[in-house]
Amino acid sequence: MQTSAAIALSATNIHKSFGDAHVLKGISLEAHQGDVISILGASGSGKSTFLRCINLLETPDEGEVRLAGETIEMKRARDGRLHPGNRKQVDRIRSQLGMVFQSFNLWSHMTVLQNVTEGPLRVQKRARAECIEEAEQLLTKVGLYDKRDAYPAHLSGGQQQRVAIARALAMHPKVMLFDEPTSALDPELVGEVLRVMRALAEEGRTMLVVTHEMGFARHVSNRVMFLHQGQVDAEGTPEDLFNGRCSERFQQFVSSHHSRAAN
C-alpha cells in the first residue's frame, strides 16, 4: 500500500552532534505520500532533533534531506561540517514543510487570524483577501473561528496549538512535522489537539509526528519509528510493533508508558 505512493520526504543517514554528545547516529526515513509516521523514543533519544534536522532548524552534520524529489543543497565548510548551500532554497523548502511545535510558538503580538495569514502573505505573497478567506476556513476547521481576533495570550494551550496547526496548514505544506504537539498541554486539553491531527491524517496528509501519545501512534499512524540513543531501534507498522514483533526495548518503553497512563 505504502510503496505505491510517491516518496514525499526522505532523510538519509542524518548525523548530529552537540559538542561531544553524538545525538543522531545515522538515521534514515522515507515517507510516502499519505504516510503518518509516529516517531517514538525516550527523552534524549534524538527524536526532536531528528525532526528539526529535516527543516534545518538544526543543521545536520551529515546526511541528506529530500522533499518531493528535491535535495536540500548542503556545503561543507572548512571545519568539515555541513552548512545550507542556498538560503533561498532552504526558505522555499521550509515553506513546504508545516511545523507544529511543543510550545506552540504563536507570534504573541498578532491576533489568531494574523498568525494564520502571516505566512501566506509574507512568504507566498498571496492576495490578502484570499489569505483571510482561507485562514477563516482553517480556523473553522480547527474550531476556533470565533477566536480569530483574540491574541494567543488569551487562549488555552489546546486552543493555541490548534491555531498553530491552522497556521501550518495555511502554507499548503507537502509534509507536516509535529514536534511533541501535546506534551505541553494539560491532560484535559490533549484530546482536542489529537482530534484535529486525526482529522488531518484521515484527509491523507503526510505527517511526521514526534509524540508520547501511544494511542495516536497505535491507532492513527500507519508507521512507527522507535529511536534509542540516536539510532533507529525498531521500525514498522503499529500492528507489528505493538503486538510484540519488535525489540525488547520497545516493549519496555511501551509498558512503561502504559503503567504511567494507568496511574
The Cα 211–Cα 179 span in angstroms is 7
One residue of 35, 62, 180, 213 binding other proteins per CB under 8 A: 213
Task: Report if residue 133 touches other proteins, rule: CB under 8 A.
Answer: no
Tell me 147's DSSP state: G
Length of the chain (residues)? 263
Q: Which residues inside 167-196 make contact with other proteins, applying CB under 8 A? A: 167-168, 171, 188-192, 194-195
Report residue 81 as a C-alpha cell: 561540517
Helix and strand numbers (H, E) in the chain are: 9, 12
Give the three-class secondary structure for 17. strand
Closest separation between CB of residue 93 and other proteins, Å? Answer: 8
Q: Nearest distance from residue 103's CB to other proteins, in Å? A: 5
C-alpha distances in Å from residue 186, one per residue of 53, 183, 189, 192, 207: 28, 8, 5, 11, 23
Comparing C-alpha atoms, which of 103, 189, 188 is closest to residue 152? 103
Minimum CB–partner distance for residue 122 and other proteins (Å): 5
Is residue 151 within the footprint of other proteins (CB under 8 A)? yes
Which is nearer to other proteins, 248 or 261 (by Cβ)? Answer: 261
| Residues near other proteins (CB under 8 A) | 55, 57, 87-88, 91-99, 101, 103-109, 118-119, 122-123, 143, 150-156, 158-159, 164, 167-168, 171, 188-192, 194-195, 198, 213, 215-216, 219-220
